[in-house]
Structure 1
Amino acid sequence: MPSALVTDRPLPVYFIGHAGVGLLFSESPQNRIVQDNLRVIGEEIRRISPRPKAILTFSGHFEAGEIHGPEVIEVNMKKGTYIMHDFVNDFHDSAPFVYEYDWPHEDAPELASEVWRHLNKSGIKAKRVERGVDHGIWVPFKVMFPPEDPLDIPVVQVSTFHGYDLESQIHLGEAVASLRNKGFLILASGMAVHSFPSLASIRAAPSDASRAARREKVLAESRAFDTAVRAVVSKTRASERRKALLELEQLPEYRRCHPTVEHFTPLLVAAGAAGDAVGEAVGVDVVEPGMSYLNVKFS
């Protein structure tokens, strides 16, 4: 039977900027900052007492399948979960070693069943599925919980909704918020800015000068949206934060920074789960053209 752990105070909620597999081997100064920021979060989670009975994750790479329609959530039930080498780029020639990466961890199907039942009781249609762990989870977790100090808390994976309805993602977070008092630490993994088309537009510029100009324009867009997100998550009233999150969609930078929404929606889930908790950025600011590695803690 699942543990009946009940906490006096709700466990915190985290949103992390998960980066790609290059996080594990790139030696760039920016990459080292992203790693250090994530290690701070890993150390915070290790210090939580009593220990969470599970980390409930939402990843930008685990969106419910289109086959279920727009109103269904998936909960992973698989035990002995394999990690997925689900990279955007083909590394077979440039960095073939990335396909050898592994991430030892603990699954908890019985706790996943508890979450599945909770979602259905909350009025959210939830299906049980079996899948691996995508790089939106295992890549940052390898940094947060290295082999010499591995994660000793099981992981339960839940999808976001399929589709572009942002309000539904906040509602999903609100539905799981009460699990924070039952031993579940909620961690959503995405990116505050995530735009491969913007990066492609820089590479496609016809000259060094135009590339530099395009890079500065994309960086300005990315910083503007990142700044707007930081202002929204710092709001302390759930109703105000919800309204402001949905209004981000109206900003001129929004579609450029999120041509698809799957990396943005985990932030909405985290904010919904946080309720009136205070949101604050964790670590050193890292914004690049087309990418933001913002981490947020709600507590």
Structure 2
Amino acid sequence: MPSAVVPGRLLPVYFIGHAGVGLLFSESPQNRVVQDNLRAISEEIRAISPRPKAILTFSGHFEAGEIHGPGVIEVNVKKGTHIMHDFVNDFHDSAPFVYEYDWPHEDAPELATEVWRHLTKYGIKAKRVERGVDHGVWVPFKLMFPPENPLGVPVVQVSTFYGYDLESQIRLGEAVAPLRNEGYLIVASGMAVHSFRSIAEIRRAPSAGARELARQQVLGESRRFDAHLRAAVAKRDAAEGAEALLQLESLPEFRRCS
């Protein structure tokens, strides 16, 4: 399946919920649902012909570093990237084998530089950096494109903006959209709701009853925010969709769910 740029061919965009490293070894019912969904998406991607020249990834765990300020995007141009065992939880006692995980893959520093140039021409302040592949990318991709059945397409990593400003994130999306016509398949990884603070509140509750009340409150907030988000991204008109996304900032659940 040769790689080529087909004029006027708009490649799709995927958003995947990556979950944690437990996705790779825990066979819980919830994990099996996520695993099945990710494998189905991987089959869709494998069926694209001609194949994309690169997968352009965005991860919830690759936010531009604070050192560059809130208005800068980082593009990873490192060759031979290692995977990062950047887990929030400490698995050294419970599952030490996760630190032995690897995910062989192909980098493309020259394409990453091409993306960096595109962003700067679009008016995005962008910096080239050298970093590893965070678990927001390699955990789902290890499931979707395992070493025994690799995709054979290089991965280019681009950060999101630092902070909560949705307007800047929308501007980034608009900036990379033309790359879909240039052979880049965009795969964004994250979770619509990802609040460690809420999880901590549930765990700190003094009794089983209080924990259940806290859990129901968190679930309610999460479902309300998810419903608003789904409605926003379902807008067919780009301007209406952007406006609906910006309105999410006014929701009381906005900061609570992230």
TM value normalised by structure 2? 0.96
User: Within 5 A, what are the aligned runs for 1:83-94?
Assistant: 83-94=83-94
CA contact (8 A) 1:202 1:214 kept: yes
Q: Deviations over 1:29-73 (max 9, x none)?
A: 011101111111111100001100000011111111111112211
Counterpart amino acid of 1:16? I
CA contact (8 A) 1:84 1:134 kept: yes
| 2:159 partner SS | strand
Cα offset, 1:194, TM superposition: 0.5
CA contact (8 A) 1:205 1:214 kept: yes
Partner residue of 2:152? 152
Normalized per residue, which structure has more strand? Answer: 1
Q: Structure 2: how far apart are the matches of 1:76 and 1:17? A: 22
Partner residue of 1:99? 99
Unaligned runs of 5+ residues in structure 1 are 259-299
Q: Deviations over 1:84-139 (max 9, x none)?
A: 00000111111100000000100001111110111111111111111100000000
CA contact (8 A) 1:42 1:145 kept: yes
User: Within 5 A, what are the aligned runs for 1:3-18?
Assistant: 5-18=5-18
Counterpart amino acid of 2:119? L
Partner residue of 2:80? 80
Counterpart amino acid of 2:57? T
Counterpart amino acid of 2:156? V
| 1:107 partner SS | coil
TM value normalised by structure 1? 0.83
CA contact (8 A) 1:120 1:126 kept: yes
Cα offset, 1:209, TM superposition: 1.4
Unaligned runs of 5+ residues in structure 2 are none
| 1:159 partner SS | coil
- Please identify, of 237-246 and 147-156, the stretch whose mean Cα deviation from structure 2 is larger: 147-156
| 1:230 partner SS | helix
Partner residue of 1:246? 246
Q: How many matched pairs?
A: 256
- Please identify, of 161-170 and 86-95, the stretch whose mean Cα deviation from structure 2 is larger: 161-170
Q: Structure 1: how far apart are the matches of 2:13 and 2:250? A: 26
Q: Deviations over 1:192-226 (max 9, x none)?
A: 00001111111111111111121112111111111
| 1:62 partner SS | coil
User: Within 5 A, what are the aligned runs for 1:172-187?
Assistant: 172-187=172-187
CA RMSD of aligned residues (A): 1.2
Q: Structure 2: how far apart are the matches of 1:175 and 1:244? A: 19
CA contact (8 A) 2:4 2:50 kept: no
The structure 1 segments of at least 4 consecutive aligned residues displaced by more than 3 Å after TM superposition are none
